[in-house]
Chains A and B, each alone.
Chain A
Amino acid sequence: MTGVSTGSTSGVPIPNRPLTSQARPGNPAVVAPGSTSGAAYCGHCGEPYDGGDGPPSSAHRECGARLAMEPPRYCAACRRRMKVQVTPLGWSAECSRHGVLVP
């Protein structure tokens, strides 16, 4: 039962996501939300990016906007669903293979 079941944000800068010590350097999961650079999969919907290093396909444009308002749910490197923990002032997302992302 949730008092608040929904939510989002507006006007929030897209966060950078440094690796924590649990993740490996060069992890392709670590990409700015909405960017396809180095990412194989969309962090929002988990579907493959089709543009390689190019601009996001139109299919994922809305996902990019969504990722400014919610944490990624899928690992951008391997598409595993991540364990996401949201706190009032932060969040983290953990892929069992690629480690932890934080804002």
Chain B
Amino acid sequence: MTIQADASEATSHATIPAIFPILETARQQVLEDGIGLTQEQLEEVLRLPDEALPAALQLAHEVRVRHCGEDVEVEGIISIKTGGCPEDCHFCSQSGLFDSPVRGVWLDIPELVKAAKETAATGATEFCIVAAVRGPDIKLMNQIKFAIDRINEAVDINIACSLGMLTQRQVDQLAEWGVHRYNHNLETARSYFPEVVTTHSYEERLETCNMVKAAGMELCCGALIGMGETLEQRAELAAQLAALEPHEVPLNFLNPRPGTPLENQGIMDGKDALRAIAAFRLAMPRTVLRYAGGRELTLGDLGTRNGLLGGINAVIVGNYLTTLGRPATADLNLLVELNMPIKELQKTL
């Protein structure tokens, strides 16, 4: 892996040149007044020239410290059911509709509990159980209930789930079982969604998100950028997420997977990724903005640092669902070096 030098250079110069009107506006509107930027304003941020990037990241960092605090939230994620999904999200190696090398596999509960313990030992407060499904069936719901009980017996950590689209009854069950956060991503802008997914609609995703919020669970609703969307659509996505007011937004950068329709999509430019981080923070001053998949490929080690100093206030520690992440110690040491405390566990059951 080579670090994208241009991305790191973009934030390595302390001198901040000329005034950029959108950043002046954002300083008052977002930092002082706590009001996120509009879609049009976000588009301006995404179009800022390279020389404005350090100032944009600096402002985004000030916003996150002012409105979210110094803490960084650490989470581990794990796949309980991998592969064989009937949906056709064009970026996903777990769709059973593509010629992907990912084989279907279930994780057994003792392994899951062991992983939860290991995750908690890193200082993580969140453990997210993920399944590659359109939505859970009875078998999966029973497995989840059993897993939650075993994890709660063994370790003190908040449990989140990501099980696809839910019925109202399933939402109520998960809330009753103590799932404190539910992940369901919008992934991309409404206007680009049909290019990326054809087996379900944006509205169906929104429906699950709204049910989760109404049931009192925290909503984690993420983005995957670098899929060929335009800058307008990237701004549209940030604005649509902001309108949903999720507790957390995990920000993924496309890692083109073999066998998927997006396998030949290039890796996103590092500076564009940093501009997006700043823009998402300026769209959502109070939301947990989490570094998720693809950051290592798009931004490299220095980019991880730049993002943490540019609006990010949460990380996924260790590996992802089908690919590997930076070693957990690398991120944890970086937080120490940056003097950023890890958020402590507050059970919200």
Q: Do the two chains belong together in a single complex?
A: yes
Give the distance in Å from the alpha carbon of A26 to the alpha carbon of B115 in the complex.
30
7 A-B pairs within 8 Å (CB atoms) are namely A2-B92, A2-B132, A8-B1, A8-B323, A11-B330, A69-B323, A91-B324
Is A68 an interface position by the 8 A CB rule?
Answer: yes
Min CB distance, B285 to chain A, in Å?
Answer: 22
Q: Which chain B positions have C-beta within 8 A of A11?
A: 1, 301, 326, 330
B103 touches A84 (CB 8 A): yes
Distance, CA A66 to CA B235, complexed state (A): 31
Q: Is the CB of B300 within 8 A of A81?
A: no
Sort chain A's interface into a size bin: 20 to 34
The interface bits of chain B over 129-155 (1 if a CB of A lies within 8 angstroms of the residue's CB, else 0) are: 011111100000000000000000000
Q: Does A57 contact B (CB under 8 A)?
A: no
- Interface pair B326/A89, CB less than 8 Å apart: no
B-binding residues in A (CB < 8 A): 1-12, 45-46, 65, 68-71, 73-74, 81-91
**B 295-322 to A, binary, CB cutoff 8 A, 1 in contact else 0:** 0110011000000000000001111111
Q: Indicate the member of A4, A71, A88, A91 with the most B CB atoms within 10 Å.
A: A4
Q: Which of B25-33, B54-62, B158-166 contacts A (4 or more CB under 8 A)?
A: B158-166
Which of B103, B119, B130, B323 interacts with A7 by CB under 8 Å?
A: B323
The closest CB in chain A to the CB of B91 belongs to: A5
Residues of B within 8 A of A6 (CB): 91, 224, 252-255, 257, 293-294, 320, 323
A67: nearest residue on chain B (CB-CB)?
B324
Q: How far is the CA of A89 from the CA of B318 in the complex (A)?
A: 6
* Most A Cβ at <10 Å: residue of B107, B222, B317, B318: B318
* B41 contacts the other chain (CB 8 A): no
B21 within 8 Å of A by Cβ?
no
Distance to closest chain B CB from A95 (angstroms) = 11
B residues with CB within 8 A of A:
1, 3, 76-79, 82, 85, 87, 89, 91-94, 101-103, 105, 107, 111, 114-115, 118-119, 122, 124, 128, 130-135, 162-165, 183-185, 220, 222, 224, 250, 252-255, 257-258, 292-294, 296-297, 300-301, 316-328, 330
Collect the chain B residues with CB atoms within 8 Å of residue A88's CB.
76-78, 115, 118-119, 122, 124, 317-319, 328
B42 to chain A, nearest CB (A): 23
Given contacts A1-B185, A8-B296, is CB(A87)–CB(B323) below 8 Å? Answer: no
Q: Measured between alpha carbons, how far is A88 from B126 in the docked complex, in Å?
A: 12
| Chain B proximity of A46: nearest CB distance (Å) | 7
The smallest beta-carbon distance between B287 and chain A, in angstroms, is 15
What distance in Å separates the Cβ of A5 from its nearest Cβ neighbour in chain B? 5
Question: Which 10 residue pairs across A and B have the least CB separation, nearest first?
Answer: A7-B320, A10-B1, A6-B255, A1-B164, A88-B76, A73-B101, A6-B293, A88-B318, A3-B183, A7-B323
